[in-house]
Amino acid sequence: MTRGERTPVAVLLSGSGRTVENFLAERAAGRLPVDIVAAVSSRDDVRGVDVAREAGIPVGIFRRKEHPASAAHNIAINDWLMPFAPNMILLCGYLCFYHRPEGFGGPVLNIHPALLPKYGGKGMYGHHVHEAVLAAGETESGCTVHHVSDIYDDGEIIEQKRVPILPGDNADTLAARVFAAECELYPAVIRRMIEDLGGTDG
C-alpha cells in the first residue's frame, strides 16, 4: 500500500490550494505519511496549481466546459490519474462532480465546511455554506470528512469537528475558524485511514 514509508495519494482542487499546502506542511512535520503523486485542477488560473507545481507534483488541468458531460470529464481525469497509481484520492476544495475511477479500490474522500447532512449539496461551497449557516441562526458549525459517493456531499460520514459560532461572526470569520478545524481534521482522518489500510512500511 505504500511507496517507501509514504502512501501515494492524488489530490483534486479548484482553488487556492490551501488544503494541499496543509498536507505538505503536515508531511514535512512528520505527521502525515503521504506522497502526493498527482494533482488535478478544474481550472488553470488558480493558486492551487502553482502550489502543486512548486512542490514538484505533476498537475493535470481538466476544465469541465471542455467536455460534453460530467461522465466524459471524469473519464478524462481518471485516465490521466490512474497511471500515477494512487492508493487514495483526496478532494481538496474541488468544485466539480467527481466519479470514482472504475475498479479503484482505495478511499475517495472529501472535506466539507459544514456539519453534514446540513448545508451540503450542489452549489454549497465556500462562503455560500457559511452564509447559509449564519442566516439560519446556528450556534455551531464545523467540518465533515466523508466518503465520496454519486450524490454531492452524501457519502458516508467519517468524522466531524465542531466549532462555535461567536457573536459578531460573519462569513469571513466563520470560514477562518472552520478552515482551522479542517487543517486538523482532514490529516487526522487520513492518518487513521492509512493505518486501517495497512499502515506504512517502517
Active site amino acids: 112
Q: Are the beta carbons of 87 and 7 closer than 8 angstroms?
A: yes
Q: Residue 148: helix, strand or coil by DSSP?
A: coil
Cα-based angle 171, 13, 131 (whole degrees, multiple of 5): 15
Which of these, 155, 133, 153, 157, lies nearest to 145 by C-alpha position?
Answer: 157
- Locate 162 and state its grid cell: 465542531
Helical H runs in the chain?
18-28, 47-54, 70-81, 127-135, 171-196
